[in-house]
C-alpha cells in the first residue's frame, strides 16, 4: 500500500502529543476535522491531529466499484466478512504515520489511535499489535474484525481503550460493539464502553468524552 495522504491540524506550537484519527468507509480525513475545537482541550495544549485519507479500493458491497476504504467488505451480515489482509496492510500504512511522529519527537506513548467504523477496526488491529506502547485506543461505532488473528503485543497489553456506539446504528449494530468489548475483556483488556441514542454517527457528548480521554492519557 502506498504512503497515506493526510490532513494535519496542530492546536499549538511544538506539539508534544498526537492523535491519529481514521475515518469510515467512503469518507475522507476531512470528516473529523470539525471535532478538534469541540474536544474542549486546554488553550495552552499542543496536540497534533492527523486525519489520513484511505486509498480507493474495490468494495464488494459497493458492487465492486472503488471507493475510499481501509479494506474490502464482502458481506454486510452481522458477522461481516472482511478482507483481513487488506485491513492489516492499512494498519501497517498507519504505523508508518506513527514512525513519522517518532521522527518528529512524539513517542508512541504520547499517541492515541482513533477510528470510526472501518477505521475503528484498523485502530483495534494497530493499537493492540504495535510493538511499542500507545497512549490509548478510541473505537467509535465499530467492530473488532481481527479479534481471531491479531498478534497482540506485550507493550500494549493494558493500553487504555474507550469504545463508543450508537444504540440505533443501522450500519454497525450495537451488538457488534458489545461483542468487541466482551472479546477485549476476555483478552484481559479493560475497555470502557458508552452508548448514545444515535445512528451511525458521532454526537457532541461523545466528542466531549473523547476530549476527556485525551486529556487524561496525553496531557
Q: Among residues 61, 66, 68, 67, which one has the least CA distance to residue 28?
A: 68
Q: Is 169 annotated in the active site?
A: yes
How is the beta sheet containing 6-10 ordered, strand by strand? 6-10, 47-52, 17-22, 111-116, 136-140, 161-166, 192-196
Q: Among residues 93, 88, 117, 104, which one has the least CA distance to residue 176?
A: 117
Owner of C-alpha cell 499517541? 111
49: β partners: 9, 19
Catalytic member of 90, 169, 180, 217: 169
Sign, CA torsion 1/155/14/7: positive
Q: Is 44 annotated in the active site?
A: no
Owner of C-alpha cell 500494549? 156
Catalytic member of 53, 92, 153, 200: 200
Catalytic member of 72, 83, 90, 117: 117
DSSP, collapsed to helix, strand or coil, labels residue 207 as: helix
DSSP label at residue 73: B
Do residues 62 and 100 make contact, with C-beta atoms less than 8 angstroms apart? no
Q: Among residues 175, 210, 178, which one has the least CA distance to residue 47?
A: 210
Distance CA 20, CA 180 (A): 21
Q: Is 200 annotated in the active site?
A: yes
Q: Which residues are catalytic?
A: 117, 169, 200
Amino acid at each position: 500500500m502506498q504512503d497515506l495522504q493526510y490532513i494535519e491540524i496542530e492546536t499549538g506550537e511544538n506539539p508534544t502529543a498526537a492523535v491519529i484519527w481514521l475515518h469510515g468507509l467512503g469518507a475522507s480525513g476531512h470528516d473529523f476535522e470539525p471535532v478538534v475545537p469541540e474536544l474542549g482541550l486546554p488553550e495552552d495544549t499542543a496536540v497534533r491531529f492527523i486525519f489520513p485519507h484511505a486509498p480507493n479500493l474495490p468494495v464488494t458491497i459497493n458492487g465492486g466499484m472503488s471507493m475510499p476504504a481501509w479494506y474490502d467488505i464482502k458481506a454486510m451480515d452481522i458477522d461481516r466478512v472482511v478482507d483481513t489482509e487488506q485491513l492489516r496492510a492499512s494498519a501497517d500504512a498507519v504505523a508508518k504515520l506513527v514512525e513519522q511522529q517518532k521522527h518528529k519527537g512524539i513517542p508512541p506513548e504520547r499517541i492515541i489511535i482513533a477510528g470510526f467504523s472501518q477505521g475503528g477496526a484498523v485502530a483495534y488491529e494497530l493499537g493492540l499489535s504495535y510493538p511499542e506502547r500507545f497512549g490509548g485506543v478510541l473505537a467509535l461505532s465499530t467492530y473488532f474484525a481481527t479479534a481471531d488473528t491479531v498478534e497482540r503485543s506485550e507493550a500494549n497489553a493494558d493500553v487504555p481503550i474507550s469504545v463508543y456506539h450508537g444504540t440505533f446504528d443501522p450500519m454497525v449494530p450495537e451488538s457488534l460493539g458489545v461483542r468487541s468489548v466482551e472479546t477485549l475483556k476476555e483478552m484481559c483488556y479493560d475497555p470502557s464502553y458508552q452508548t448514545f441514542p444515535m445512528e451511525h454517527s458521532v454526537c457532541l457528548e461523545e466528542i466531549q468524552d473523547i476530549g476527556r480521554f485525551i486529556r487524561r492519557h496525553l496531557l
